């Protein structure tokens, strides 16, 4: 959108200078002290193995301990882990039940495993799969239920486990955004048949790239280890594992910094009408990581969610809509079921800048800008909508 005003001290979307010259991202992007990383890198070079080495083994042990499970299998990505899990279903069981209010990669993981995604609606409170919708969708061709545990709620794990169990279908949980969460007083990691996590740099534990699967099932763990070599190489490299080990070792400091930022946002949102933080669940056994900062946009906020995204992007805040557009609305999806709760939720939320490239001072400046946007809300809204119409 081009300049809408001659005033160069105006807000970004109206032609002014962006608040942030360097974009403020939404991902964690933490880094351990470089000296510690260099030491680990030197050990890797001295051992002479850049893959299939000791760092991966140590990482698996530490992650298994963190999640309180007997088995952790490190992989090149959470995506390859989920695809390997989905590939296990019989060839006549081609459907994978999954939510449409989630990360855009999920249907692709199913297709990589030569399976077909079947989207089900979610519960308005938990944002996770609605057990009643899953029950209605379960059929003879169902090969797996792929649930998503979200940062705000792990979802109806007990009900989904019972449903999947009654039908003899595996329950796989994508827990990427829920690392540290707990269910029934127990940390996530050992629920369903297996759970998948990510070590991408934007996630809580930064391994550059990578992922891991946790499970209590020894036979499944053995299968997954074998699946790292065939049919598709899904091995995690030593350097990625070393980075993740250090990130895990410094987790408490990362979470403390996240908490500071989250508290700063709490103060900002308290002064604004209509931007409400989607809260973390502080439940027994949970480690609230405060990694993601997601707000709901609702009246009396004067702009829509999408207008707010544009306004903030024009300020150099690399905000994004949260789980939007919903996956069943992708024109490539031939079956587009009616998912009214999903459609409603997909209009509501956005990610605010978060992680280690964002300071508390940045958040305070962003808060002041948001207050300005709120005061001039109807003017900004009408100018945005006029420009859209022409």
Partner 1 sequence: MSAAGNLPAVLGGEPAFVRPIASAQRLPRWDRVREAFAAIFERRYFANNGPLVRRLDAALAAACGVEHAVCVANESVAWLAAVEAFEPQGAIGVEGRLGPATADALRAAGLEPVSREASGVQAYVAVHAFGIPCDMSHVRAAAAQRGVPLFVDATQAMHAPALPGVLNGDAVILSFSQATVLNAGEGGAVLTNSARIAARLRTIRNFSAAQTFAHVRVRQNAKMSEAQAALVLAGLDDLPEVIAASRAVLCAYDAALQPLKGIALVTASAQSVNAHYVPVEVRRDECGLTAAELATALQRENVLAERADGGVLLLPSGAGIAEHDVFDICGALERILQHAAPVQAAVGDVR
Check residue 165 for interaction with partner 1 (CB under 8 A): no
Q: Which is nearer to partner 1, 209 or 343 (CB)?
A: 209
> Helices in 228-376 by DSSP H: which ranges?
238-249, 251-271, 305-313, 340-345, 360-375
Check residue 1 for interaction with partner 1 (CB under 8 A): no
Report the DSSP beta bridge partners of residue 350.
Answer: 295, 321
Residues 72 to 91: which contact partner 1 by CB under 8 A? 76-80
- Written in H, E and C, the secondary structure of 335-375 is CCCCCHHHHHHCCCEEECCCCCCCCHHHHHHHHHHHHHHHH
Binding-site string for partner 1 from residue 290 to residue 329, where x marks contact by CB under 8 A and - marks none: ----------------------------------------
CB of 50 to partner 1, least distance (A): 3
Q: Which is nearer to partner 1, 112 or 126 (CB)?
A: 112
Check residue 167 for interaction with partner 1 (CB under 8 A): no
Query: Which of 74, 118, 224, 234 touches partner 1 by CB under 8 A?
Result: 234
Residues 89 to 108: which contact partner 1 by CB under 8 A? 103-105, 108
CB of 228 to partner 1, least distance (A): 10
Q: Which residues contact 122 (CB under 8 A, 6 or more apart)?
A: 99, 100, 101, 128, 129, 130, 133, 339, 341, 342, 345
Cα four-point dihedral sign 296, 172, 63, 54: negative
Q: Which is nearer to partner 1, 20 or 280 (CB)?
A: 20
Could you tell me the two tokens for 29?
A: 């992007």
Query: Which of 37, 251, 306, 347 touches partner 1 by CB under 8 A?
Result: 37
CB of 84 to partner 1, least distance (A): 11
Q: Which is nearer to partner 1, 135 or 209 (CB)?
A: 209
Distance from the first to the final alpha carbon of the chain: 12
| Edge-to-edge strand list for the sheet holding 275-277 | 275-277, 294-297, 349-351, 320-321
Query: Which of 2, 90, 168, 231 touches partner 1 by CB under 8 A?
Result: 231
Check residue 201 for interaction with partner 1 (CB under 8 A): yes
Q: Round to whole Å and give the CA distance between 161 and 129.
A: 12
Q: Round to whole Å and give the CA distance between 224 and 222.
A: 5
Check residue 162 for interaction with partner 1 (CB under 8 A): no
Q: Which residues contact 365 (CB under 8 A, 6 or more apart)?
A: 19
Check residue 332 for interaction with partner 1 (CB under 8 A): yes
Q: Which is nearer to partner 1, 110 or 178 (CB)?
A: 110
Q: Round to whole Å and give the CA distance between 85 and 143.
A: 10
Backbone angles phi, psi at 26, to 5 degrees: -110, -10
Burial (Cβ within 10 Å: 0-12, 13-18, ≥19) of residue 140: exposed
Binding-site string for partner 1 from residue 206 to residue 225, where x marks contact by CB under 8 A and - marks none: x-xx----------------
In the complex, which residues of this chain contact partner 1 (CB under 8 A)?
Answer: 29, 31, 34, 37-38, 41-42, 45, 48-52, 76-80, 103-105, 108, 111-112, 114, 200-202, 206, 208-209, 230-240, 243, 332, 356-357
């Amino acid at each position: 959108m081009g300049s809408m005003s001659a005033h160069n001290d105006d807000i970004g979307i109206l032609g002014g200078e962006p608040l942030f010259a360097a974009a403020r991202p939404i991902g964690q992007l933490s880094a351990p002290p470089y000296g510690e990383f260099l030491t680990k890198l030197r050990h890797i070079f001295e051992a002479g193995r850049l893959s299939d080495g000791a760092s991966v083994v140590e990482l698996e042990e530490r992650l298994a301990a963190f999640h309180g499970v007997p088995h952790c299998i490190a992989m090149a990505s959470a995506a390859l882990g989920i695809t390997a899990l989905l590939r296990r279903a019989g060839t006549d069981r081609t459907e994978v039940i999954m939510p449409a209010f989630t990360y855009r990669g999920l249907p692709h993981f199913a297709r990589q495993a030569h399976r077909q995604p079947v989207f089900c609606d979610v519960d308005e409170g938990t944002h996770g799969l609605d057990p009643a919708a899953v029950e209605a969708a379960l059929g003879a061709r169902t090969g797996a239920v792929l649930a998503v545990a979200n940062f705000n709620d792990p979802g109806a794990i007990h009900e989904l486990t019972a449903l999947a169990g009654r039908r003899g279908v595996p329950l796989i949980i994508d827990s990427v955004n829920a690392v540290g969460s707990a269910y029934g007083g127990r940390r996530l990691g050992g629920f369903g048949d297996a759970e998948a996590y990510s070590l991408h740099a934007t996630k809580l534990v930064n391994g550059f790239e990578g992922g891991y699967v946790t499970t209590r099932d020894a036979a499944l763990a053995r299968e997954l280890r074998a699946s790292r070599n065939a049919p598709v190489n899904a091995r995690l490299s030593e350097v990625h594992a070393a980075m993740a080990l250090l990130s895990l070792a410094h987790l408490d400091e990362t979470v403390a910094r996240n908490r500071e930022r989250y508290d700063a946002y709490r103060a900002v949102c308290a002064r604004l009408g209509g931007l409400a933080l989607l809260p973390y669940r502080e439940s027994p056994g949970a480690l609230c990581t405060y990694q993601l900062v997601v707000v709901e946009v609702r009246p009396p906020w004067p702009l829509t969610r999408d207008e707010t995204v544009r306004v903030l992007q024009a300020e150099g805040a690399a905000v994004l809509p949260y789980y939007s557009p919903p996956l069943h609305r992708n024109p490539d999806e031939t079956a587009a079921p009616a998912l009214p709760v999903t459609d409603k939720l997909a209009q509501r939320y956005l990610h605010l800048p978060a992680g280690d490239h964002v300071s508390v001072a940045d958040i305070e400046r962003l808060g002041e800008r948001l207050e300005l946007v709120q005061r001039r809300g109807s003017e900004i809204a009408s100018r945005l909508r006029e420009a859209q119409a022409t």
